[in-house]
């Protein structure tokens, strides 16, 4: 039986607050053997760690500061991350580093409404550099966001000499992705590939030995209206197989192997079941 690893999601989101156990059971029944749950905000850290304590054989914590944060006095307002957002995060990351499977979700987000000029973008780069440095000092991979910033994100990671990199839901051009491939970076593909021409072009270009699977649950599902869940990982797998004209089994096997290569701590909570 081939298994899946969901390499990037947000199961600590409030939308999963009432039925998280059912969501995890559904994922496991679909063959998902591990789930890398990423933080966006410091407030997510404890929820992720609690999920790990409840489901230690499934939940793999990733702690980090996302490039898009919330206004302190207006939680509905999104703002660009700055160094102040690292002040409460860094000591929590250090005290829980042994539980972390990666640093994430970190990265750059250069949407004009978030980072309207170079000042904001330069500060985001510094927030990213600080967290990449922490990851490298603690021998952890990085789980990276790069919305509207494909080239700058890869360039910043190269400047940091980052090696163990996952670029999740990459929205840049295939040519930009290939610059990351040259550095050994991996790219994870969400179920939204079925409705994204950009993701389909990306998969055509990226070699299979640099592809992982993700859901980004609750976002980036096969349709926009419904909550995405980890069991939808098979949709990513099936679409990659279709685009590359290879078997679903080949995609399952390679992406599972790639996951263990990039996130070595997963070997402690995943297992491979071989059948005739």
Closest to 100 (Cα-Cα) out of 92, 108, 109, 112: 92
Supply the pTM of this predicted model.
0.95
Q: Is 50 annotated as a binding residue?
A: no
Residue 50 is assigned to a structural domain of this protein: yes
Average pLDDT over residues 35-63: 98
Q: Residue 164 — very low, low, confident or very high, per pLDDT cuts 50/70/90?
A: very high
- Containing domain of residue 200, as a range? 4-268
Beta pairing class for 142-147 and 102-109 = parallel
Task: Tell me the chain's radius of gyration from C-alpha atoms.
Answer: 17
Q: Is 216 annotated as a binding residue?
A: yes
Determine the Cα–Cα distance for residues 252 and 238; give it in Å rounded to an integer: 9
CB atoms within 10 A of CB 133: 14
Q: Which pLDDT score is estimated for 72?
A: 80
Give CA angle at 12 (203, 59), nearest 5°: 70
Q: Is 85 annotated as a binding residue?
A: no
Residue 102 is assigned to a structural domain of this protein: yes
Average pLDDT over residues 217-238: 97
Q: How many structural domains comprise the chain?
A: 1
Residue 274 is assigned to a structural domain of this protein: no
| CA distance readout (Å), 182 to 158, 165, 259 | 10, 12, 18
Q: Is 214 annotated as a binding residue?
A: no
Closest to 4 (Cα-Cα) out of 263, 190, 203, 255: 255
Paired strand residues for 68 = 80
Q: Is 52 annotated as a binding residue?
A: no
Question: What is the domain-level CATH number for residue 82?
Answer: 3.20.20.140
Q: Which pLDDT score is estimated for 270?
A: 76
Residue 169 is assigned to a structural domain of this protein: yes
Residue 273 is assigned to a structural domain of this protein: no
Residue 276 is assigned to a structural domain of this protein: no
Dihedral class, residue 147 (left if φ above 0, else alpha if ψ from -120 to 50, else beta): beta
Q: Is 168 annotated as a binding residue?
A: yes
């Amino acid at each position: 039986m081939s298994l899946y690893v969901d390499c990037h999601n947000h199961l600590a989101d409030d939308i999963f607050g009432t039925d998280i156990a059912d969501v995890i059971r559904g994922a496991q029944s679909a063959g998902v053997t591990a789930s890398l749950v990423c933080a966006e905000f410091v407030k997510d850290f404890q929820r992720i760690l609690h999920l790990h304590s409840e489901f230690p054989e499934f939940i793999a914590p990733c702690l980090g500061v996302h490039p898009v944060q919330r206004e302190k006095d207006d939680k509905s307002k999104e703002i660009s991350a700055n160094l102040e957002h690292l002040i409460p995060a860094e000591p929590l990351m250090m005290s829980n580093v042994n539980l972390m499977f990666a640093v994430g979700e970190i990265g750059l987000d250069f949407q004009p409404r978030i980072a309207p000029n170079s000042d904001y973008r330069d500060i985001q780069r510094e927030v990213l550099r600080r967290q990449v440095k922490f990851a490298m000092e603690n021998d952890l991979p990085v789980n990276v966001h790069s919305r509207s910033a494909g080239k700058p994100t890869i360039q910043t990671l190269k400047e940091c000499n980052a090696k163990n990199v996952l670029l999740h839901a990459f929205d840049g051009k295939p040519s930009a992705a290939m610059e990351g491939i040259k550095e050994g970076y991996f790219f994870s593909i969400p179920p939204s590939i079925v409705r994204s021409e950009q993701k389909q072009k990306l998969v055509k270009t990226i070699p299979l030995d640099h592809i992982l699977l993700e859901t980004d649950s609750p976002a980036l599902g096969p349709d926009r209206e419904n909550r995405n869940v980890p069991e939808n990982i098979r949709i990513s797998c099936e679409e990659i197989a279709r685009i590359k004209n290879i078997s679903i089994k080949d995609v399952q096997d390679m992406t599972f192997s790639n996951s263990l290569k990039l996130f070595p701590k997963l070997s402690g909570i995943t297992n491979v079941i071989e059948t005739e």
